[in-house]
Amino acid sequence: MRTEDLIASLTADAKRSARRPAPTILPAALAGTLLAVVVFAVLVGKIRPDIAGAVGEIRFLLKFAVTLSLAGAAYAVLRESAYPEGVHRRRLLVLAVPAVVVLSCVAFELAALPADAVTRSLVGSNSVACLVNVSLMGIGPLGLFVLALRRAAPAHPALSGIAAGLLAGAIAATVYAAYCPDDSPLFVATWYLLAIGGLAALGAATARVVARW
């Protein structure tokens, strides 16, 4: 091995050892979930009154299939991307899981609904409140995740920030889904994901500045 290659290898090893983060992502995720519940209690303060009957409805359960699959995939990417080695591209394929879930739920809904009910189901009765509440409930957890990234050493802060925003939004959407009276997958795929996408964009912009090293 040439001297230059040896020096480069030792330098890279030193950087990995020095910058390898403490396991801060899981505590941040737990704290972020608790924070989302607290904000939900302040903003909304109740779950939907018909929840006992709703839990037996497939559309109600599909909301949680979407939000929880996204939360799991986003957490996996965030945890991996917090390390200086970065996340392997193949690991990003985990994000295909919630995408498939969303598309499957939308296909189910379109097959089940008459044509004249599609627009009504997409718009729902709660779209503005959904956007506002999911966004507000997700900001706190997103802040915790970005602070956790600051203590870590992400190779690509913007990517980590996107994952942080997706996770924060998915947590907020999961909590909010217990109240939201709109259960259509078309509504979820539109308004829930718009709010989550906004948090992902905010996470990318914030982490790019805060989590650089």
CB 142 within 8 A of CB 202: yes
Would you say residue 32 lies in a domain?
A: yes
pLDDT in tens, 42-52: 999 888 888 88
* Averaged pLDDT of the chain: 87
State the DSSP code for 192. Answer: I
pLDDT tens for each residue of 149-197:
988 878 889 999 999 999 999 999 999 999 999 999 999 999 999 999 9
| DSSP at 173 | H
Show Cβ contacts of residue 125 under 8 Å, excluding neighbours closer than 6 positions.
Answer: 181, 182
User: Is 19 contained in some domain?
Assistant: no
Query: How many domains does the structure of the chain reveal?
Result: 1
Spatial contact of 108 and 62, defined as CB atoms under 8 Å apart: yes
Instruction: Quote the crossing angle between the two packed helices 157-177 and 25-43, to the nearest 10°.
Output: 40
Bigger pLDDT: 156 vs 34: 34
Let me know if residue 5 belongs to a domain.
Answer: no
Please indicate, yes or no, if residue 134 is contained in any of the structural domains: yes
In a domain, 155, yes or no: yes
- The domain in which residue 140 lies consists of 28-210
The answer to whether residues 153 and 213 touch, using CB atoms and an 8 Å cutoff, is yes
150 CB-side CA count, 13 A: 11
How far lies 91's CA from each of 23, 158, 200, in Å? 19, 16, 18
Our measurement of the distance from residue 3's CA atom to the centroid of its chain's CA atoms, rounded to an integer in Å, reads: 45
Residue 124 lies in a domain: yes
Confidence check: pLDDT of 1 > 60: no
- Would residue 12 count as lying in a domain? no
What are the pLDDT digits (tens) for 89-113? 788 899 999 999 999 999 999 998 8
Q: How far is CA 131 from the centre of its chain?
A: 15
Task: Provide the pLDDT for residue 155.
Answer: 83
pLDDT for 135 = 97
- The whole-number pLDDT of residue 9 equals 54
Determine the pLDDT at residue 3.
56
Residue 2 lies in a domain: no
> Across residues 61-85, what is the average pLDDT?
92
| Residue bearing the bigger pLDDT, 183 or 17 | 183
Check whether 4 has a pLDDT greater than 80.
no
Whole-structure pTM value: 0.86
